[in-house]
Structures are given as structure tokens and as C-alpha cells.
Amino acid sequence: MADRIDPLVEERLYVGGVLRSAEGGKVFENVSPVTEQVIGVCADASGRDMEDAVAAARVAFDGESWWRDHDLRARCLRQLHAALERHAPEIRETIRAEVGATEGSLHGVQFDTSIKHLLYAADLVENYEWEKDLGLSDFLGIPTHRTLRREAAGVAACITPWNAPMQVNLAKLSAALGAGCTAILKPAPDTSWTATALGRLAAEETDMPAGVFNVVPTSDNSVAQKLAEDLRVDVVSFTGSTAVGRHLMAVAAPTVKKVFLELGGKSACIVCDDAPLDEVAILAAFGSCAQAGQGCSINTRLLVQRRVYAEMVDKVKGAFESVVYGDPADPAVYMGPLINRRQYERVLSYIELGQAEGARLVTGGHRPPALEAGYFVEPTIFADVDPRSRLAQEEIFGPVLCIIPFDDDDEAVEIANGTIYGLAAQVESGSLERAEAIAHRLRAGSVNVNGGLYHAPDSPFGGYKQSGTGREMGVLGFDEYTEVKLLAYG
């Protein structure tokens, strides 16, 4: 039997280069989504703690040495990557404990692929086009030589969610720190340890100067909101719900700071009548149940051409019922629990809503009777869903798939584009030409075509419409943390 590995538990804030308790020793509880039991506590930052973090980040940036020293930044990013690799077993257990992440996801997006963002950003620091020669111009008879420079934007607030915490934390931090910003990470309370572990490793195993990186978990939304309101914060990068994104954009408006948002989704997978149905059914099932359906870009609407609709519903039903769910410590388990009781009750309420709206419940729809504890919901399919219904329009964030019929490609595009969201999509057809033609008409930031997968550190990710503003990852994501300066020489 393998030796038990304990999670890396860091309860303290990381502010101004110091690991410390919150003001007054205040803490909040960390609850396991698998057992519903308290597994520990984390420092609960006050407004004063957040003030200290902003002040430390401001001083570190205004000192100029961090954003001017490309070599130091690249080295620190690589040091943090190396530290994460050294502590990988313990940190995987931390993420499993907080998120209910499965073994497969920990060796994928929840940890192993996420830490690659640091190496990508380190390489980009050394190869980024920091300066571009625009050549000569002649305005009003004055010959002028022009140079375009990219410079760090300043203090960046990185506000992150609980569904894939390490991935989002590092996607933001690697770009922010690589670009030369100083950063304040405010994680979701449900996954605070995944963030505070980064603070501990930065403090103990990197050369990051004090104040360059700060980790400030809090259970108080008004404390987190200070990051959007504070004049000393230059950039707000937020991943989360569209409702909260709208609010942050509004409260940041008086200071006219840069705000970029990766928000909700109601992504559609369009299945044409010439698609390989067996393969698509498996993709639909395992995609919908990844992270218990708690992913903003998951294809939660399956649009199926009417000629193959009944056949496809049967195939997807079989694929869903093959998904193994339960205790994420079991290597055979693919799907773990929802993150907390509020999310569990939300998902069950949408299942009730779908039935009330007249959609046909094909499979699932309940708490698994064999699981006495934990925030588990069976993989669930609704068929014959009205594309205008709330079930088809609103983000559920659980393992719930809506199947909708369509007659032709024009109708498929109309339904796919017919929500407030535009984060991601997928098109499946036996004809690449047909699939591409549909993909080009979709109002979405990322589109997988015939089994492709968009996700990679160098792939910019973000959405159209109310799925967000700006892009994360890739060169475009790096750009978000910079300002553009034009130098004109006479």
C-alpha cells in the first residue's frame, strides 16, 4: 500500500514578503466537498490586511527594479515552477482536499499542465517584443524617428475562482509577474490553500523581492472589492461569474483602471448529421462531467441535427451512464463532487427547473443514493430542451447537459449564438469544410473543430459578449498586463 501523502497546508497570508496571520488572528473554515467536514482554517484578511498588500505591491512596483529586470523575473518564474515540481505530491493533495479533484484532473488541468504557464511566461519575458521600431515619419515638416515600447502596467489584482484554482492562479500570475507587474492574488475562499501554498513557496524558494507577490484570502467580498476601487491598483484581472464581473467593472470605473474579465459561458457543441456519433457522444459525456461540470467553457448545450437526434440522445445517455463518479481519492473515479453546499443546491434547483419547463429528463437528476456525504449530483441529461428556456440560457455549473435539435446549419448557428454568452463552442462534422464554415459564424472566443482542443499556455482564452473582455494566456494574455508607450525622437 502506498504511503499516505499529506497536503501542503499554509494558513497564512503572504504580504510584503512576510507570511503572517490576518489582523486579529481571524480565520475562516475550509470545508471538504467530499465529506462536508471542516478540514482546517485559513487566515481571513481584513480591510487593513488588504490595504497592507496594496501598499506593499505599490512600493515594490514604484521601486522600478522588478519591472526593469527581465532576467530576475524570468529566474523567479522558473524558481517557482521548480518549487511546485518539488512539492507536487503534497500540492496535488491540497487541491484534491479543497476542490474534490480526481486523480486524472490533478495530472491534467488541475495541476500538471497548469504549472507550465510559469515556464511559458519565463520564456516570453526573454523573447517578447518589448520594443518595436516604427521608423521615420514626417509631420509638419519635422522628421521624427518613433519607437513603440511595451512596459508593465503597474499593480495587478488577480481575483480567481474555485473550479480550477491552480490553473487560473498561474495563468494570471505568470503573465502579470512576467510582464513586470507586481501582483495581489485574491483566491476564492473555498480554495484558499491552493493560493497560500504559492505564497509560501515564493517566500521560501524564490528570489522574488518583498511586495512583488502577495496572497490575500478573505471571506468578505467587501474586502476583495477594495482591489477594484483602489486608485493604486492599475489592473484588475477577474475570472468568475458574469454577475460579479459586471459589479467589479462598475466599481472600478471611477478609477478608469484596466479591467479584463473571463466570465460565464453556455457553450454549444454542434453535431451535424455526418459527424462520428459514437466519438462525439463520449466527448460530450466526459466533457460535460469534467470537474463535475464546473467549467466556464464546458459544452453544456449539445445541438444535434434532427436526422440523427434520437440516435444521438441514446448514445449520449449510454456514455453518461458510464461515467464513474464518487470519492476522488479512488483512481478509477472520473467525476468528483461539486465545490460546496450552495453550488450543490443550485444545480439541483436547475434540475427541478428543467423538469418544470417541460424538458425530458433522460438520465440522472438526483443525489447518488450510494453516497451518504459530499456534494455529489448524478451526471444528468435533458433532451427536447427549448433553446429559449432558462435551462438552455443560464449557466448551471454542474454535470447537466441540454440536448437541443436543429434542422439545418443556419438554425444551429442561430441557436448556438442565441445566449448572452460567447466563451467557447465546438463543431463536429464529417466534412472539415462544413465544420469550418459553421465555426467561422459562431460568436465565441474559442471553437474546437472535429475533436480539437484549444487549451494550451500559448493559446489566448476569453470570450465574446458577456463572457468577458480581453484574453488570458498566450501573447495576448501577456499584453493585458502591459501599457504601450510611443517615443518620438527629433
Instruction: Pinpoint the alpha helices (H) of 210-298.
Output: 221-229, 242-252, 277-289
Determine the straight-line distance between the first and last CA of the chain, rounded to whole angstroms: 74
Query: In this structure, what C-alpha cell is assigned to residue 348?
Result: 439541483
Q: Identify each DSSP E strand in 234-358 by its residue range.
A: 235-239, 258-262, 267-271, 299-305
Looking at residue 83, its amino acid is A
* Burial class of residue 384 in the structure, from the number of CB atoms within 10 Å of its CB (0-12 exposed, 13-18 middle, 19+ buried): middle
CA distance 21 to 14: 9
Bridging pattern class, strands 142-152 and 482-489: antiparallel
Dihedral angle computed from the Cα positions of residues 274, 268, 379 and 37, in that order, rounded to the nearest 10 degrees: 150
Task: Show Cβ contacts of residue 465 under 8 Å, excluding neighbours closer than 6 positions.
Answer: 420, 421, 422, 443
- For residue 199, CA distances in Å to 10, 206, 249, 397, 427 come to 9, 10, 27, 29, 41
CA distance 40 to 7: 11
CB neighbours of residue 343 within 10 Å: 22
* Burial class of residue 420 in the structure, from the number of CB atoms within 10 Å of its CB (0-12 exposed, 13-18 middle, 19+ buried): middle
**Residues facing residue 301 across a β-bridge:** 268, 402
CA distance 230 to 215: 17
CA distance 385 to 214: 46
DSSP of 163-202, one letter per residue? SSHHHHHHHHHHHHHHHT-EEEEE--GGGHHHHHHHHHHH
Q: Is 130 within 8 Å of 72 (Cβ atoms)? A: no
CA distance 486 to 137: 13
Q: Is 454 within 8 Å of 461 (Cβ atoms)? A: yes
Radius of gyration of the CA atoms of the chain, in A: 23
Q: Which residues are catalytic?
A: 262, 296
**Residues facing residue 238 across a β-bridge:** 159, 261
